[in-house]
Structure formats: C-alpha cells, structure tokens
Structure 1
Amino acid sequence: MTPPQINGDRLLARLDAFAAIGATPGGGVNRQALTRGDRKARALLTALSKARGFSVFQDDMANLFIRMEGSDGSLPPLLIGSHLDSQPAGGRFDGALGTLTAFEVLESLADAGFVPPRPVEVVAWTNEEGCRFAPGCMGARAFVEGNIPAEWEGLRAVDDGALFNDERLATVAALAPDLGHRKLGFPVIAYLELHIEQGPSLEREGIPVGIVTGVQGTRWLEVEFEGQTAHAGTTALEYRRDPLKALTAALAALYATVMSENAEARFTVGRIAVTPGSVNAIPATASCTIDLRHPQADVLDRLEESIRARLAEAAEAEAVSVAIRKTVDMAPVTFADDLISALQIAAQKAAFRTRSMISGAFHDALFLAGHAPSAMIFVPCRDGLSHNEAEYVNPEDSVAGARMFLASVLELLR
C-alpha cells in the first residue's frame, strides 16, 4: 500500500472554491453562522463527502460530521476539523483551512486505500465566530454539554434580527433529507484541530508548525461609571461628577501597568460609550468593555482583582459610582500531554521544525478538551493578520500544515 499523501493542488483548489461562497469585494469572506452562505458551504462539503463515499451526519446544533469507517466501527472515532463560518469582513482561511485540511486528510487516507483501526470523522462546528449570534463556539459548547441551552433560543442576530432558533432549525432542515442524525455529545477518542495562528510569531521566526499546548483563559467585563450630567460651560471642577474622567483615568493606569508588568497578560478595551453624548454636557454615564486574558488561572484572578480595585479607586476619586459585570469567564485549558507528545513525534518523523505555543484566541478545541483529549496545530499567517479580508496563508504553508496534520492523524491512530 502506498503511504497516504496530501494532494496539495486539491486542497488549494478547495480553499478557492469555499472562498467563493460569501466572497467580499476586498478579497475576504462574509459567511456568518447560520446564513444562506453558511448553508451553501455545508451543502458543498456534504456533496464532496458523498461523492467520495463517506457517510454524513448532523446533530440538532447543525454540527456537520463526515465519517470514514475503520476496521472496528464500534470504537469511538478520532474527531478532526474546525468551522466554516466567518466574520462579517473575515478572511478565507480562519476556520475553513482547518475544516478543509481535515477533509483532505480523509481523502488522502481513502486515496491510499488506508483503513484506519477506528473511524475517523471530520467535523464542521456551528458558529465558532460568535459575531452574528453570541456566544462563540456554540456548536462545540452544545456538543460538550449534550444539549442546547434554553437561553440561546431567543437570541437575535446582530445583522438582521433573525432568531437563533429559527436559523438553527432552518439550517438543519436544509440538509436533513440527505443526512443521518446524531445525538449531541457522542463519545470520541480525541479531537485535533488545525488553525491559522492569528498572530505573527511563526511567520517572523520562519517556523512552519506551531504545536499548541493550551489556550489562555479569558474574562470579559462590562464596566459602567455613573455620575451626573451637567452644563459644560457653567459647572466648575469642584462641582463635577464626571464618569468619563473616572473611566479615562482608570484606563490610563491599567494600560500603563497590566501588560507592561506581565508579558503574558492581554488587556483590551474594545468599546467605549457615553450618555447622553452631547457636545456641551458632562456625561451622565461612561462605559466600556474589558477583555482580559492570561494562561494561568491564579494570575488571571489577581489581574481581575487589581482591575476592579483600580476602577473603584477612580470612581471614588471623582465622586461617581461604578458597576462591573462579568459576562465571560473561560478558564485556561492545558491540552493532553499524550496528544502533544504524538504531535511532536509526528513532526520529527515528517522533519518539521515546530514551536510550542499557547493560543491567545479561544477555539472549538478549548471546549472539546472538556469532552476528550484535544490538541491543536497552528500554521503561519501573513503579518499575523486575521478577522480581516487581507488574511493570507502562503500556499506552501497551507500544504505543509496539511502534511503535518496527516502525519499527526496517523500517529494518533497508532
């Protein structure tokens, strides 16, 4: 039997074909979760799978599964994949490269007549991005939990106000006549995902493969200072209760300390708003969001505590009040040692230079790690740019990532 080999031309052509679904004028992709574009991409992947003789299934969350049978079909499958949905002005590689690489691995095994000892399944998770419906990674979360949270049903899309539950059911129904049905949370032996790095490290260091050892923890805070609106021209300093002054003072101190004093910390303010928003009135409220990340849970706790203290100090100094609400709390995850070892062995056998790294972004693998041993492989992207129409992966890096992924799958199957 000829050893399985990645067909690089086929993979690159598939990337082009899927990038045409939801293509934007700027060269990117707008294929948000549970839209017509998302359904079209699912239908194309389903057609390609059936043409190769693979079985295709979906669950109630519209997660799509493509199954290659193994010599012992009773064993839990090895699960590989990523997602197909994109940001509104996203790139053509984020998610799609991982899903199509996993499918190329399945085709490469079939081309070689390789029969795995257990089934291998490709998955395309639903709504990883979380931009149309929040939270992100809905498909992976529901799979791991074994149910769809009731509070998701009434969510409305940010683009057109469509109900999540209506869009989910429509997406399932679009392919239901041709697909088998799966229950959420079925057993798998392990999960492996390939993704673009979404950062500059691999490209700058000239390393083709990143072996991801874990995902850093994330806290999202919503902060609102409340003061007193008053006339801008008649209110002297000693009479002002300015929430925006408190907010900006606190943020200046946090920007100056959080990341500079801890190189692994990530501190980001993504939104700022004031009310009533009049040019000649002191604001009544000033609010912001804070995205805080760190790979160690205890450090994350300390950072959050110090941020809350700084916000409270700023509020007291300006005689205003502050309310802080935590909206996301995702603990750091360390991937399974035996999977990481298998990836390192695969890289050695395939002669790939690698770099061990922590993922700064969260991915479906973060949640799958709570269900089965999981790991990730990163490939370089130009300038580390992602969630952007200019996102780009060199063809040779896409093919190299696929070769590493195939070598890793074969190592895991051993």
Structure 2
Amino acid sequence: MAELRIDGDRLWRSLMELATIGGTPKGGVCRLALTDLDRQGRDRFVSWCEEAGCTVTVDAVGNIFARRPGRNPDRAAVCMGSHLDTQPTGGRFDGIYGVMAGLEVIRSFNDLGIETDAPLDLVVWTNEEGARFSPPMLGSGAAMGVFTLDHVLDIRDTDGLRLGDELERIGYKGSVPVTGHAMAAYFEAHIEQGPVLEAEGYDLGVVTGAQGQRWYEATVTGRESHAGPTPMRMRRDALAGAALMIEAVEAIALEIGGDACSTVGRILAQPDSRNVIPGRVWFTIDLRNPDAEQLTRMDAMLRIRLAAIADKRGLTLELADFWAFPTTPFAPDLVARVRDSAERRGIRHRDIVSGAGHDAVYVARKVPTAMIFIPCEGGLSHNEAENIQPSHAAAGCAVLADAVLATAR
C-alpha cells in the first residue's frame, strides 16, 4: 500500500484553480455559502467529479455526493469530504483542501486502475463556516439529525435572505433525502488552522478527536445617560461592565490552562454615540476544551463570574446558550490507519486534538470518523494570508488515499 502514488502537482493545480473563484486582491478567497460564487465553485467541483467518472447527487440541504462505484454496490460508501464555502476574508485551503484531496484520491485510483469493494463518496457539506448563515456546519448537522431540515432551510442571513430560498436560487436544492445516506466511514483532510505542527516540526497530524465547544450570547443592560452631566458614581454603564466581563472570559481559560480556550469575537454597543453612556451591550462568547469535565467547569465559572460583575455594577445580564457540541473522540481503528500510513511513508507526525469545529465532528456522532491535519504557515487560518506547502498537501493526500483504500477493501 505504501507504493500508492498520488499526483501532488495535479492536486496543487486544482487548489489554485478553485482559488480563482472568489479570489481576493490579498490572495485569499471570499466565497460565502449559497452566493453566486459558491454556485460557481460547486459547478466546477461537479464538473471535475463527472470527468473522473463519478455520479453526482445533491440532497435537500445542498450537500453534494460524488460517487465512484465499488465492486459491491450494496456496501455503504467509504466517504471523504469537507466544504467549499469560506469566511469573508478566508484563505485558499480551509475546507477546500479536504475536498480537493478527496478528488485527487479518486483521480489517482482511476489512473492506477484501483478498484475498491465499497463505493467511494466525496462529499461537499453546505455552509460549514457559518459566516453567512449561523450556526456553522448546517449541512452536516442536518444530515446527522442534529438540526431538522425545516429549521435549517428557514435560517436567514443578516440581510433577511432565507437559506432555503438561496439554495433554490443557485440551483443546489436537491431531491435526495437529507438523512439516511449510508456511510461506512468518513475521512476528512484539513489544514490544522493552528501553529502546533509547524512550530514542532511535524508534517502531519493524526487527529484523535475534537474539542468540545460552547457558544453564548451575552446581553448587558444598564442605563443610557449623558456623558457629561452624569457623575461616575451614578452611572450604570453597560459597556464598562461588559469590558470587565470580557476580561473575565479570557481569565477563565488562562486559569484552567492546558488546551482551554475562551474568546469574545463580536461586540455591539448601543446607542453607539460618543457622548452617550452605553445602555446596552451584546457580545458573543466561545468556550472550548478537549476535556468534557473541564468544559463544564468553565461553563460554571462563566455564569458565576459574569453574574457577579453585573450585580456589583447594577446591571442586568442575560446569558443565552447559542450552540454547543461535546468533546468528540474519533474512531480508533480509522485513526490507527492514518497513523500507520504516516509511519510507513516516513512522514513525521504526531497525534493532535482539533481545536476547531469541522463537519467531521457532527458526522462522528453516527459514522466512524477520522481526520488528517497538515501544517499551515504561522498557524494562520480564516485569513487571506493562509498558506500551506505543496509537499504537505501531497503528503496528507497520500495518507488519505492509504486510509481510504484500507477501509474500502
């Protein structure tokens, strides 16, 4: 199996060609879910898959399945995949690498005349990023029963446009049922989106699982009043209170230590006037930890500390749970196949836990799953400067091919 070869140059050319659809002046990509640019990217992907001899189907939430037949059509498919949508100032590889690596596996199997017992499915999941329609990972979440189809189709973007309407507008509202797609296994190759592999000199990460995440929306209410005549001692400044809460959010992860992370990503202050004391502030909170008990502890610390700040400053706090998923271990036998391939090929690798959410996390709820990470320069992702080395892209793809072949046979 170590003799299996993929065409790294062809993989790189495909990545670069796809990056021209929605390419930005700074070298990144803006291809938001269900926009015209997303349609163009999907169309290019579908044409490549059909050229490779695959049969393409689309489900009711827009997930795309490109099938390479196996000797036994009754077997559930061994699947690969990721997503094609990006952040507004996204890079060329986040998600896209996993899709193009899967396509290169199929192309290489075709070149080498490799047959598999099980069919192979290459999957593009809808709206993984959540940049336009929130929360993220809606396509894989619907497919795995995390969200109902009606709920997903009715989500609206900031302009009030409905997901289902946009899906139909770009021509990717399919007729295949969104649940019930038979999957024997799922592999997802991805850039690390963090600095660990590069900093420690590894060429590949064997992903053993994903961190648990909890997202919140906090609303702090005080009292609007004039910035001049209102004495400091008599103010109920929602923004000053929120600032202390944001500091407390950061302190929670620092206190827990290890791989704990806490982030405030968005803040909105009202009435947003320079000489009015803010009366209302809304902000987001993101807590992550690979240890389920520690994540629960972080949740408790958050609720206690933010409530104490609000009480001390005479403010009202509403802390709403927005989205969550638990710590997710991946399938040990599939993880072992990834590790074994890296060892046979002499690729410097280490086990790693994913700090980001991926479609694989939802898929893993119902299907044996594994992930492969390759380094990204400086750990940058969700950034137009996101970059990877062609040699790393080829190495990750080769390991993907080994693991898929071992599973499909």
State TM-score, norm by structure 2: 0.94
Query: 1:95: how far off?
Result: 1.0
Match of 1:365 in 2: 360
Deviates more, 1:62-71 or 1:280-289: 280-289
Over 3 Å counting, the alpha-carbon distance change for 1:2 and 1:233 in structure 2 is closer
Match of 1:192 in 2: 187
Query: 1:244: how far off?
Result: 2.4
Match of 2:54 in 1: 54
What's the % identity of the aligned pairs?
39
Match of 1:299 in 2: 294
Over 3 Å counting, the alpha-carbon distance change for 1:171 and 1:217 in structure 2 is same
Over 3 Å counting, the alpha-carbon distance change for 1:248 and 1:53 in structure 2 is closer
Match of 2:132 in 1: 132
How many Å separate the matches in 2 of 1:72 and 1:3? Answer: 25
Q: For this pair of structures, how many residues does the alignment match?
A: 409
Asked if the contact 1:346/1:411 (under 8 Å) is kept, the reply is: no
Match of 1:346 in 2: 341
Deviates more, 1:340-349 or 1:359-368: 340-349
Query: 1:9: how far off?
Result: 1.4
Structure 1 SS opposite 2:243: helix
How many Å separate the matches in 2 of 1:403 and 1:120? Answer: 16
Match of 2:163 in 1: 164
How many Å separate the matches in 2 of 1:205 and 1:146? Answer: 36
Query: 1:323: how far off?
Result: 1.2
How many Å separate the matches in 1 of 2:398 and 2:255? Answer: 38
Is 1:325 the counterpart of 2:320? The answer is yes
Which amino acid counterpart does residue 133 of structure 1 have in structure 2? F
Match of 1:45 in 2: 45
Of 216, 229, 233, which residue of structure 2 is paired with 1:234?
229
Query: 1:141: how far off?
Result: 0.8
How many Å separate the matches in 2 of 1:332 and 1:217? Answer: 4
Deviates more, 1:222-231 or 1:352-361: 222-231
Query: 1:148: how far off?
Result: 4.4
Q: Could you tell me which runs of 5 or more consecutive residues in structure 2 were left unpaired when the two chains were aligned.
A: none
How many Å separate the matches in 1 of 2:124 and 2:322? Answer: 26
How many Å separate the matches in 2 of 1:37 and 1:253? Answer: 40
State TM-score, norm by structure 1: 0.93
Match of 1:267 in 2: 262
Deviates more, 1:16-25 or 1:229-238: 229-238
Structure 1 SS opposite 2:11: helix
Deviates more, 1:128-137 or 1:226-235: 226-235
Deviates more, 1:140-149 or 1:304-313: 140-149
Match of 1:154 in 2: 154
Which amino acid counterpart does residue 372 of structure 2 have in structure 1? I
Asked if the contact 1:2/1:112 (under 8 Å) is kept, the reply is: no
Over 3 Å counting, the alpha-carbon distance change for 1:50 and 1:157 in structure 2 is same
Is 1:93 the counterpart of 2:88? The answer is no
How many Å separate the matches in 2 of 1:43 and 1:280? Answer: 51
How many Å separate the matches in 2 of 1:22 and 1:104? Answer: 22
Structure 2 SS opposite 1:11: helix
How many Å separate the matches in 1 of 2:55 and 2:276? Answer: 64
Structure 2 SS opposite 1:259: helix
Match of 1:76 in 2: 76
Asked if the contact 2:2/2:402 (under 8 Å) is kept, the reply is: no
Tell me how large the CA RMSD over aligned residues is. Answer: 2.0
Match of 1:121 in 2: 121
Query: 1:146: how far off?
Result: 8.6
How many Å separate the matches in 2 of 1:372 and 1:340? Answer: 13
